[in-house]
Amino acid sequence: MKYLILNKRHKRKCVYVNKVKKRRPVADNFIKQLNKLKPLNLPKNKFAIFGSGPIVIRGFREARDIDIIVKKELWDELKKKYAKFIKNNPECIKIDNIEIYKDWPGFDEVNQLIDEAEIIGGWPFVKLKYVLIWKKRIRREKDIKDIELIKKYYKGLF
């Protein structure tokens, strides 16, 4: 069985075997999906995984896609390289189940979200506190469920 080493913040909230957290099957499936990002060769300090990704990597629930935010200079490169994959409303680059965005609704500065990203399993994820802020703003049915999952996580129930 494989294990995922998490940072100190996660240690107090997880069940450990030899000081390493056992991954949940949901997180294992998501890590397989994340491997689709490797061919894109995205520089780790220029992007972060947002949307439901920070929730899914913790094993709370499944995800259908991977939402990525990128810094402007990387967006400009990717826009040229993947011009045929550009979708509108909102503008993104959609490759298979990967959606790459230059900005994110409700946040003026994606660079901050990327710069403050936490590394989990070698991948940069937007901090859960920002996911919570975003989900509280949009409040779709699935977001309300996610808000409750995040609150349980912060209370140490996960």
Tell whether 11 is covered by a domain: no
> Using an 8 Å Cβ cutoff, are 22 and 3 in contact?
yes
pLDDT tens string 43-77: 989 999 999 999 999 988 888 899 999 999 999 99
Tell whether 4 is covered by a domain: no
Tell whether 14 is covered by a domain: no
Tell whether 69 is covered by a domain: yes
DSSP 45-64: GGEEEETTHHHHTTTSS--S
pTM for the predicted model, two decimal places? 0.81
pLDDT tens string 98-124: 999 999 988 989 999 999 999 998 999
User: The domain spanning residue 143 has which CATH number?
Assistant: 3.30.460.40
The continuous run of DSSP H or E covering 10 comes out as helix 8-11
The total domain count for the chain is 1
pLDDT tens string 122-152: 999 999 999 999 999 998 998 999 999 999 9
> Using an 8 Å Cβ cutoff, are 67 and 48 in contact?
no
Tell whether 133 is covered by a domain: yes
Structural domain including 50 reads 25-154
pLDDT at 105: 87
Tell whether 68 is covered by a domain: yes
